[in-house]
Amino acid sequence: MKTPIKEQFLVAPFLVFFLVHSTQLGVGVLSFQRDIAEFAGQDSWITVIVSGIIVHVLIWMIYTILNKEKSSLIVIHQNVFGKWLGGLINILFILHFLVISIVVLRTFIEVVQVWMFPSLRTLPLALVYLCSVYYVVSSGFRTVTGVCFIGVIFSLFLIVTFLAPWEFSTLRNLLPVYDHSFKEMANSIKEMTFPFIGFEFLLMYYPFIQKPKTSQKWAHYGNLATMAIYLILMLTALVYFEQEHLLRTSWPTLTMWKIINFSFLERFELIGIAFGAVVVFPKMCLVLWAASRATKELFKVRQIKILVFLLSICLIGSCILKDRDSIDLLQKFVSMVGFYLSIVYIPILFLIYHLRFRMGGKR
């Protein structure tokens, strides 16, 4: 039987909104439009809606399991699959969390290097960023939650900035509607996995929520807010860019920021990147908290020690990725693995759990 978390370490149910929303928003918001439009073209906005609905269903499945088990993913796997097979699956999830942190950190550093400081080395910025992550994660889950709250508040300012490109928009870029095959739409939904990654961390921090059953609606609200932001960004990119131009643009979001110009500020995208550092930081904290917490529960080691080890691997991995091709390749790999571990595996776990425990009537 898993020991319940003490009351002083729990967070209020409404904060799940910020936990879900902040982990879904990350570096993917800068370039997802190009990846989706590669398959779905002007129908990419439909992909965003369908992907958001799929995530809503997955959140419902997750809560159906968690409300029964009242424990984390590590315990659930061991209860469902046994000690050895469950342990192997848990290790896969830990590795997945770790690789996500490497991709998020290295992609953000690449944006800083390309748009702000071309001569900046990866190691110093990664070291400073990870030291900040260590300070937050080592302070406990409540501190991580507070950082997620601040990250969401800061991101609200950036939404207003995407009204500017509509002045130069061409609405006929959205026509014709639903002009792509089912296979093309399915591929675009698969590409949309990386931007929506983050909701599955519910499986790790569920025991840290006060009255966790009441937090489900806040998880859905958080995903709904994410879907709304991605939909706004997708529609803005579609009406602002011609499709050929969009497919050749590495970071459409940053490119749209370039048209914003003030008398006292010529390059607004630099402000956007600075705010992006605050938006990306909560995801880094929660991902590494989840990885270290899962390792602690699985191998019975101190979380602070394993956190230092994971941060070291993240630092080394970030420095190994030298060019755009290697970063993009790893990002596509994470997106593919995330697709199978979330979109595919969670429904499978949901079915196995119900077949084994609900229909069987006993463990």
The pLDDT assigned to 67 comes to 92
Record the tokens describing residue 285, joined without a space: 């904290």
CB-CB neighbours of 28 under 10 Å? 24
- Confirm if 236 and 165 have CB atoms less than 8 A apart: yes
User: 3-state secondary structure string, 155-188?
Assistant: HHHHHHHHHHHHHHCCHHHHCCCCCCCHHHHHHH
Give me the residue label for tokens 């698969």: 190
Q: Residues near 86 by Cβ (< 8 Å), separated by ≥ 6? A: 77, 78, 79, 80
* Residue among 252, 249, 295 nearest 95 (CA): 295
Q: In whole angstroms, what is the distance from residue 50 CA to residue 234 CA?
A: 13
Q: In whole angstroms, what is the distance from residue 359 CA to residue 212 CA?
A: 24
Does the pLDDT of residue 362 top 60, yes or no?
Answer: no
Does the pLDDT of residue 1 top 60, yes or no?
Answer: no
- Whole-angstrom CA distances from 231 to 18, 127, 162, 234 are 19, 34, 12, 5
Query: Which of the pair, 154 or 149, is modelled with greater confidence?
Result: 149
* Phi, psi (deg, nearest 5) at residue 349: -60, -40
Query: Which of the pair, 274 or 12, is modelled with greater confidence?
Result: 12
- Give percent above pLDDT 90 in the chain: 63
Does the pLDDT of residue 282 top 90, yes or no?
Answer: yes
Q: In whole angstroms, what is the distance from residue 82 CA to residue 34 CA?
A: 42
* Residue among 60, 52, 59 nearest 228 (CA): 52
Does the pLDDT of residue 57 top 90, yes or no?
Answer: yes
Q: In whole angstroms, what is the distance from residue 55 CA to residue 201 CA?
A: 13
Does the pLDDT of residue 334 top 60, yes or no?
Answer: yes
Report residue 31's pLDDT band, with 50, 70 and 90 as the boundaries: confident
Complete domains list, the chain, with CATH:
7-351 (1.20.1740.10)
List pLDDT tens digits, range 181-199.
899 999 999 889 888 988 9
Length, in residues, of the chain: 363
* Phi, psi (deg, nearest 5) at residue 209: -105, 135
Record the tokens describing residue 268, joined without a space: 């607004």
Report residue 359's pLDDT band, with 50, 70 and 90 as the boundaries: low
pTM to 2 decimal places: 0.94
The pLDDT assigned to 86 comes to 93
Q: Residues near 29 by Cβ (< 8 Å), separated by ≥ 6? A: 195, 229, 230, 233, 253, 279
Q: In whole angstroms, what is the distance from residue 279 CA to residue 282 CA?
A: 6
